[in-house]
Amino acid sequence: MQQEAAQFTPVVSISNLVKRYHEKVAVDHFYLTVGEGEILGLLGPNGSGKTTTLNCLLSLLKYDKGDISVFGKPMTPSAYDIKRDIGVVMQNVAVIDALSVYENIDFFCGLYIRDKAQRKRCVEDAIAFTGLSEYRKYRPKKLSGGLLRRLNIACGIAHRPKLIIFDEPTVAVDPQSRNAILDGIRRLNKEGTTVIYTSHYMEEVEELCSRIVIIDNGHQVAEGTASSLKASLRNRETTTVEVSRITEEDLRSLREISHVYDVMVNGGTLIIRCDGGSHNLVHIMNFLMERGIDFGRISTQLPTLNDVFLEITGKELRD
């Protein structure tokens, strides 16, 4: 896995990171390499250590073990030349209530860029980019949840960083705003920005990220592109059939069909899982008609990242 990633010019390289909170091991020998121009999706159940990893990466947290370097240089709390090129959009909205939209962006941008004219341009761009032009005079309290998230993003990216870290930027955001945010991230990436993106929305990650790392209990459990991850699943196709009546004998014969590896009846629904093949649906329908089994609606599904995620991290609830 690591060799594969090393082909990129690493923008971020985390190796053997261990972070404990007292007894609790939050990050457990975690490795991550992010190449230039990538959009890396960092996925994991609640409490798997994503935010902790990112905070270590930003040198906000002390860690017990491991090496972190960014842009090829070791990351430390006072590595200001590195920090200058990093943009952060935290999981929770962090804006100043007493300042207007414009002032918020200008203030945070000013922590990175001294030159006034340049800063003005950056702030204007960030406002246009997040579609906040109409709201520049608004105080954050008057913004809706989606606009607030966009402001949060604008504050984090106005200084045009080379690496942007998004920690769940689309929580509690409606689909329209979410699309706007995702489009924005894609545009930034086209301009050459490297992105690390965490989210619990699998579709979002699937469509946005060029590579995905799944973390669970603080260590990496899978890595690859969305399609390579899906390809690693045994399940390639799930067929669901509404049936009125089916015998044990029928079920046994169904399992004999090539590529079918799992058959299950749930109420009036028959669920058939296949691990490959190309004409599974035809074979299944032929079988049902031969046996004279009445059936209603049929649908087939290809595996999603969600399936990959659930298969890899298990189905039990997390903290």
Q: Which of 60, 264, 271, 289 binds other proteins (CB under 8 A)?
A: 60
Q: Which residue number, 159 or 230, has a Cβ lying nearer to other proteins?
A: 159
Pick one of ligand ATP, other proteins, Mg ion, none as the site partner of residue 78 (Cβ within 5 to 8 A by kind).
other proteins
Q: State the Cα angle at 311 between 305 and 313, rounded to 5°.
A: 95
The string over 82-115, giving b where at least 16 C-beta atoms fall within 10 Å of a residue's C-beta and e elsewhere, is bbebbbbbbeebebeeeebbbbbbbebbbebbee
Site for Mg ion in 39-58 (CB under 5 A): 50-51
Residue 107 touches which of ligand ATP, Mg ion, other proteins, none (CB < 5 to 8 A by kind)?
A: other proteins
Report yes or no: 112 and 87 within 8 Å, Cβ to Cβ.
Answer: no
Asked if 127 contacts 105 with a C-beta cutoff of 8 angstroms, the reply is: yes
Residue 258's closest CA among 278, 231, 288? 278
Site for ligand ATP in 102-141 (CB under 6 A): none
CB 36 within 8 A of CB 194: yes
Q: Does 49 bind ligand ATP (CB under 6 A)?
A: yes
Q: How far is the CB of 52 from other proteins (least distance, A)?
A: 8
Q: Which does 44 bind (CB under 5 to 8 A by kind): ligand ATP, other proteins, Mg ion, none?
A: ligand ATP
Least separation, in Å, of the C-beta of 44 and ligand ATP? 5
First CA to last CA distance, the chain: 28
- When binding is defined by CB under 8 A, the residue of 37, 110, 224, 277 that contacts other proteins is 110
* Rounded CA Rg of the chain: 24
Q: Does residue 92 bind ligand ATP (CB under 6 A)?
A: no
- 48 makes contact, choosing from Mg ion, other proteins, ligand ATP, none, with CB < 5 to 8 Å by partner type, with ligand ATP
φ, ψ at 22 (rounded to 5°) = 50, -115
Question: ∠ at Cα 220 (218, 225), nearest 5°?
Answer: 140
**Is position 95 an interface residue for other proteins (rule: CB under 8 A)?**
yes
Beta strands 269-274 and 219-224 are unpaired
Per-residue binder mask for other proteins (CB under 8 A), 138-177, x = binder: -----------------xx---------------------
User: How is residue 315 written in tokens?
Assistant: 């189905």
- Is 73 near other proteins (CB under 8 A)? no
SS3 177: helix
> Do the Cβ atoms of 163 and 86 come closer than 8 Å?
yes
**Does 86 interact with other proteins (rule: CB under 8 A)?**
yes
Q: How far is the CB of 123 from other proteins (least distance, A)?
A: 13
Q: State yes or no: residue 160 binds ligand ATP (CB under 6 A).
A: no
Q: 67 forms bridges with which residues in the sheet?
A: 15
CA 78-84-86 angle, to 5 degrees, is: 100
Site string for Mg ion, 85-104 (x = CB under 5 A): ------x-------------
Q: Which stretch binds ligand ATP (CB under 6 A): 18-26, 237-245, 259-267, 294-302?
A: 18-26
Residue choice 17, 68, 90, 147 for contact with other proteins (CB under 8 A)? 90
- Pick 39 or 158: Cβ nearer other proteins: 158
Closest CA to 74 of 14, 31, 16: 14
> What is the smallest separation between the CB atom of 110 and other proteins, expressed in angstroms?
4
Residues that bind Mg ion (CB under 5 A): 50-51, 91
Residues that bind ligand ATP (CB under 6 A): 21, 24, 26, 44, 46-52, 91, 319
